[in-house]
Amino acid sequence: MRKLVQIVEKTQLNLSGLNLYTEAATGNYNISAALGVLAGARAVHCVARSNRFGSAQLAIAQTNELVQSIQNVNQTRVTYSEGHDYTALAEADIVTNSNPLRPLDEVAIKAMKKGGVISLMYEPWEYRQGDIDLKAAQAKDVWIVGVNEMHPTIPCFYSAGILPLKGMLMAGLEVFSSDVLLVCANRLIEYALPVLSKTCASVHFVDGNIFQGEVPAGCKRIQPGEVNNRHYDALLLFDSPDTVKWNVSSTSDALWPIQSLGHWDVCVQMMGDVVRSDFEDVKFVPEKEPPRGYMGFNPADLGVDLVIRTVVSGLKAGQEAIAFLQNGNTKTDAEKVSFEWIKSFYNRA
């Protein structure tokens, strides 16, 4: 609780007078409702669903236990449901694109009020098709905001260099003697490459020339179309959900089959899709294959602090959007403004 109080104060998270529609969850993800209460929300409604992490009842119990530990909790109305509560959804100012709420389909968005805001709870480039009905949101004039997860107050992406190391250790690799191939054609390369260059024996990387800094010593860029027969201890797959150049099977006609990148003993599948059955001799981490489009690891794997940062960043983006709307601004006005917590308005149809 101390960390939650501190980060609300540090970021000046303020949801006074607003209704928050978010998740009830287990483990480190049970914090959204508590953050809403600490930020002074008028009402918080939490949606729970049973999943691989626990039952809906367990999610509600763990979320409510944390909420009830807050002093003056009764100043905020906190309610729960298994699945959507469309009455609560109709009252919501901010809706979080959290796992138990997805998909936010046409039925859900039609229940929202005009001028409501959906926070993606991640950056725009991470968007997964099917999370939100974009056409329904556009028709209802519901704003969808992509989050700036590298706000200097609580930057989130520094974990990109730590997660691969965790995966390698889980696979039984000795990091400091490992030769690795990093596939990461997104901005996470900026944070992953410097850490890996200091901890691994050598790093080859495929990034589509995204990384603009000086390539660290011990690192080499592999260019598109380059045939690479080197054997690596590990492939570190940190790809974007919508990239298809190498998330393919050996029988695919894709532009750049993953087999052309070399050979490896271990695949640390942090982000990006692979047909695992095509790689009989490769050990995959995590052992359980993530659903298509989802990360194999998530912030909770590094502890609660990163989860708090991620959730607060999403709520701050929602707060900023609501304040902008309440001043009578439009989407056209938004294109002329530089926001702190909003990376972009994801309102494409």
Residue 255 has pLDDT above 80, yes or no: no
Give the residue, 243 or 239, on which the prediction is more confident.
239
Q: 340: which residues sit within 8 A by CB, 6+ positions away? A: 148, 151, 316, 320
Cβ distance 76 to 18 under 8 Å? no
Mean of pLDDT over the chain: 88
What's the pLDDT score for residue 249?
40
Confidence at 333, pLDDT banded by 50, 70, 90: confident
3-state secondary structure of 95: strand
Residue 254 has pLDDT above 50, yes or no: no
3-state secondary structure of 325: helix
What's the pLDDT score for residue 283?
94
Give the residue, 243 or 343, on which the prediction is more confident.
343
Q: Which of 97-111, 257-271, 281-295 has the highest mean pLDDT?
A: 97-111
Residue 90 has pLDDT above 80, yes or no: yes
Q: Which two tokens stand for residue 48?
A: 């729970």
Half-sphere exposure of 66 (CA within 13 A, CB side): 26
Cβ distance 103 to 131 under 8 Å? yes
What's the pLDDT score for residue 246?
46
3-state secondary structure of 235: strand
Give the residue, 186 or 259, on which the prediction is more confident.
186
Strand partners, 145: 119, 345
Is beta strand 231-238 parallel, antiparallel or unpaired with respect to 179-183?
Answer: parallel
Task: Give the tens place of pLDDT for each residue, 34-71.
Answer: 999 999 999 999 999 998 889 999 999 999 999 999 97
Phi then psi dihedrals of residue 323, to 5 deg? -60, -40
What's the pLDDT score for residue 296?
84
- Torsion angle of alpha carbons 94, 97, 103, 106, nearest 10°? 30
Residue 331 has pLDDT above 80, yes or no: no
- Give the range among 172-181, 205-214, 225-234, 307-316 with minimum mean pLDDT: 225-234
Task: Give the tens place of pLDDT for each residue, 126-144.
Answer: 888 889 999 999 999 999 9
pTM: 0.84
What's the pLDDT score for residue 150?
86
Domains in the chain with CATH codes: 2-147+303-345 (3.40.50.720), 158-301 (3.40.50.720)
Give the residue, 310 or 271, on which the prediction is more confident.
310
Average pLDDT of 100-118?
Answer: 95
Give the residue, 252 or 201, on which the prediction is more confident.
201
Residue 346 has pLDDT above 80, yes or no: no
Residue 244 has pLDDT above 70, yes or no: no
Confidence at 159, pLDDT banded by 50, 70, 90: confident
Average pLDDT of 87-113?
Answer: 97
Average pLDDT of 86-91?
Answer: 98
Burial 324-338 (b: 16+ CB within 10 A, else e): bbeeeeeeeebeeee
Confidence at 225, pLDDT banded by 50, 70, 90: low
